[in-house]
Chain A
Amino acid sequence: MNPTDSSPAERALADREKTAAIERWLTEQIAAEAELSLEQIDLQQPIASYGVDSMQVVTLLAQLEDRLGFRFASNPLDEHPTIAALAQFAVSQTANVSTQS
């Protein structure tokens, strides 16, 4: 379905679902990298606080880019350091890319 064909409410719902999916995926990846259980991961905590280093961050963001089909222009964690913020930002970027294409 073309996003521009849907109503704002439908788009908002879709975005929320996408955001939740990305949050889940990020939570799983970070828990695995940091060797923590899923319950120990807080969506509102900075990702860096879980002990993942820059190379793990690079890999994680590259995988996220591949999943979403676009590339970040700069390190998104500078402005969006938490899982929740990053997921939201990623969804907004996806929407922008879709609109542009």
Chain B
Amino acid sequence: MSHTAESQPGRQVAPPVPTGGVWVVLVQLGLLAALVRLYQVEQQRHFFPLLCLLIGGFAVHACLPATRRMGWFACLSIASVFYILGAVPAAWVLAIVGCVIGIARLPVRFAIRASLLAAGMLALTVCRARFPAPFWPVLGSMLMFRLLVYLGETRQRTSPDSLAATAAYLFMTPNVSFPLFPVVDYQTFCGAWRAGNDPAVQQRGVNWILRGVVHLLLYRYIKAYLVPLPHELYDLPHIALFMATNYALYLQVSGQFHLITGLLHLFGFDLPRTHHNYFLASSFSDIWRRINIYWKDFLSKFCFFPVLYLLRGRGASLNVAVVTGVFAVFVATWLLHSWQTFWLLGRFPVTANDAALWLGAGACVAVNALWETRRGGRRSRTAWTAVREAAQTVGMFGLVSLFWAIWTRPGFHLIVLGVWQRPDALRGAAVVAGWAAAAALGVLFWNMWEQRWTARTAGRPVLSLRDHARLQAVALALLLAISLPRFSSLLGPRWSQALADFRTDAASRQAVAADRLQGYYEDLNTAAIQAGPLVASFSPADESRRRLARGFDKIARKADLYQELELIPDLATDLDGTQFTTNEYGMRDRRGLSLFKPRDTIRIALLGSSIVMGYGVTDDEVFGRVFEKQLNASRPAGAPHVEVLNFGMGKQWATHRLVRAQRMIFGFDPDVLMYVAHQDEVATIEQHNARLLWNGLPLPSPHMQAVADAAGISADMPEGAIASQLQSHRVEMLQAVYQTFVEECRSRGVLPVYVYMPIPGSVEEDPGPQFLSLAERAGFVTCDLTGWATGAKLADLFPPDDTEHPTPLGHRLIAQALLQLVKQRPELIAAPSP
């Protein structure tokens, strides 16, 4: 176990904070919550709503008598499960963990309790594998290790401990939001608990939460801006940069663990640190004792020491016992990582790559441990040892980075071998050596400073706890102020946009989309926390997206890579209370349409997004249908009938639509192809085309292929690299799509009409003029429907929880705007020439 200077009894004596300490803590927590909200920290895990609940819970906790506090924490932990997951999944979690607690506390022999619990876990494991349910990651995270710890540590007890402590330990908030949770030891959990208000512990909690937020923001920055792209790994400096930044992504885990333990401190659990300057480890044993310390303690207690003393008891030498114990720990680490993956993600990966890596790491730690047991821990402090330690630290960072790269990115060693076999393999070696030397110098200075600081502050902190808290509150307030959009807008559009992207994690999402990142912890952190209705209602946009996804699951099915999704033909269903019907061609249109255009009929093929498709309104309310009806009603007697065919489809963009036109629309012999565009015209265009190219499929037109060639795309590039390359050619790609549309239309005598119809309410700069210009240059007849909703209230145009799909009123307004348009420009629906 490792304690930091903060918690080491001999190193620092925190002076008591006078009354009002809780208020100072509350102020800091409020500022931290605002930062979490502003920077959307752990948003996908619903951290902000949970943090608000826990701050409220802390305020109550601070006012309660000491005897009630453990019970309050247990209740709060259970309440947080209901709050985040919603009633039904939380009831499952409560029922199952409740049963487990009941069995664990039965007044029977340990062997019987253990057998019953083992049978229960087996049954749960089978259920986890067979029946998907949203609560499994949370439930699994509560039981997969802590149950074993609880059983092991209560084995010797003759009388059961308090029910509140047991419930608090197993439900332990904030586990509900963080399935990747540190393995808190039960003995430590109970032993570290301070029933009274201890301001030093509470302030440490705030410090750790802040440290967690900083780790997570650093992680975001590294992920979005520093990790090199796969295609950039062609020389030593980029490979070294990749290794270092890839390892640095572990900041996400240390950030989460700091948040978790920080929150636990608020409720009196004076737990030791989970991580301690792990980038500064100077040996294999050192990294093992600095990184994920709870995991090391867990395995020391339940694996290393039992194996060691078992072997010692049978006459084995200390060396043999230590080496075997260390190996046992690493085998357990390997298999338990798979066990964790199973509960969080539902699969149990066992790969030779992982086995080789963990056993290799075990061998290194075993040799190191053996050496340390012989040498002992004492070292004389000389200038030479300081330099050597700094060099060792940099070397160890390199080795751990290499291990991490091979572990998290299978095939990395092949990249390194490929570079090594090049004639200029050592190009850039001097740069890497320079980085290493600079890093060693940095470590040297850091170590010297740390030693002096520790010696100076031993027993007498520079600031009193109260001054520290106040200073931190001021710093947090300043940080919050300069992070606000109002301030960042003063920095100019470029910086303002960059800060906005950072706040919303937009760049990271792009990095993930470009397949730049993968790995064990990245994977584990994808374990979904499905919010219940209460939390979902705080974030209507997110909930709307989730509902939309569920809606599309109902009406669409997977198609080939060009289309990706298509409407299920001949479908008649209820979609969020609206009637949704498709015809035999998979169009949101009437059944019985003929491929052959009837005589004296003008056909308009309407092509576009989910708005054109009519998501959220019933069949007769879709604007295409309304437009057709009103248009025919307004036409003079004897004029040709107008048919508006709806080829709208959601979750599709320009390239999808081009293929839809090529495959389907022209078969209906339309006279007019009306392409409806919104602000999201270039969304995903590079990703979709990258997927096609990576899969060896030709792009739908020579113009598009020419753009890809000009962007330097080659057949051997990974998909993420292709997408990244294409990202700077999005506009050219869109232009190529438009040009192809026009050429295809003209070759068939179809009039290509481009209608720009922005979705109101967006605060971003309107890209309409750029799109219209592109379309016009491509040869479209362009129409600008900006202002179609003028005079209407946004609240009437869109449902309360959806900002994209208009209400029936919105559809009527679009139809009116189109009607107005064709009245002003009758050439748009001129009768076809005979």
B binding-site residues for A, Cβ under 8 Å: 1-3, 7-11, 156, 191, 285, 289, 296, 300-301, 304-306, 308-309, 312-313, 318, 322, 369, 372-373, 376-378
Q: Which residues of B contact A41 (CB under 8 A)?
A: 10
| Distance, CA A73 to CA B376, complexed state (A) | 23
Of listed A33, A56, A58, residue having the most chain B CB within 10 A: A58
Q: How far is the CB of A69 from chain B (nearest CB, A)?
A: 14
- 20 residue pairs bridging A and B, Cβ less than 8 Å apart: A36-B10, A37-B10, A40-B9, A40-B10, A42-B9, A49-B8, A49-B9, A50-B3, A50-B8, A51-B2, A51-B8, A54-B296, A55-B369, A55-B372, A59-B372, A59-B373, A72-B309, A72-B312, A74-B309, A75-B308
Q: Which residues of B contact A53 (CB under 8 A)?
A: 1-2, 285, 289
B9 touches A54 (CB 8 A): no
Closest Cβ neighbor of A79 among chain B residues: B156
Q: How far is the CB of A71 from chain B (nearest CB, A)?
A: 6
Give 1 or 0 for each of A35-79: 1 = CB within 8 Å of chain B CB.
011001110011011111111101100100000000111110011
Closest Cβ neighbor of A65 among chain B residues: B312
Q: Which residues of B contact A75 (CB under 8 A)?
A: 301, 305-306, 308-309
Known contacts A32-B378, A50-B3, A71 near B10 by CB under 8 Å = no
A binding-site residues for B, Cβ under 8 Å: 32-34, 36-37, 40-42, 45-46, 48-56, 58-59, 62, 71-75, 78-79
Beyond contacts A46-B191, A52-B377: 4 other A-B pairs, Cβ-Cβ < 8 A, are: A36-B10, A40-B9, A62-B318, A75-B305
| Distance, CA A81 to CA B688, complexed state (A) | 60
Q: Which residues of B contact A72 (CB under 8 A)?
A: 309, 312
Closest Cβ neighbor of A63 among chain B residues: B376
Q: How far is the CB of A46 from chain B (nearest CB, A)?
A: 8
Known contacts A33-B378, A74-B306, A49 near B1 by CB under 8 Å = yes
Q: Which residues of B contact A54 (CB under 8 A)?
A: 289, 296, 300, 304-305
Q: Which residues of B contact A71 (CB under 8 A)?
A: 312-313
| Distance, CA A33 to CA B376, complexed state (A) | 8
Known contacts A51-B3, A56-B377, A78-B301, A73 near B309 by CB under 8 Å = yes
B308 touches A58 (CB 8 A): yes
A33 touches B377 (CB 8 A): yes
| Distance, CA A56 to CA B11, complexed state (A) | 20
Closest Cβ neighbor of B378 among chain A residues: A32
B373 touches A55 (CB 8 A): yes
| Distance, CA A48 to CA B272, complexed state (A) | 10
Q: How far is the CB of A47 from chain B (nearest CB, A)?
A: 9
| Distance, CA A42 to CA B10, complexed state (A) | 8
Q: How far is the CB of A24 from chain B (nearest CB, A)?
A: 17
Going nearest first, the 4 A-B pairs with the smallest beta carbon separation are A40-B10, A48-B1, A75-B305, A53-B289
B322 touches A58 (CB 8 A): yes
Q: Which residues of A contact B378 (CB under 8 A)?
A: 32-33
| Distance, CA A29 to CA B210, complexed state (A) | 36
| Distance, CA A74 to CA B307, complexed state (A) | 9
Q: Which residues of A contact B377 (CB under 8 A)?
A: 32-33, 52, 56, 59
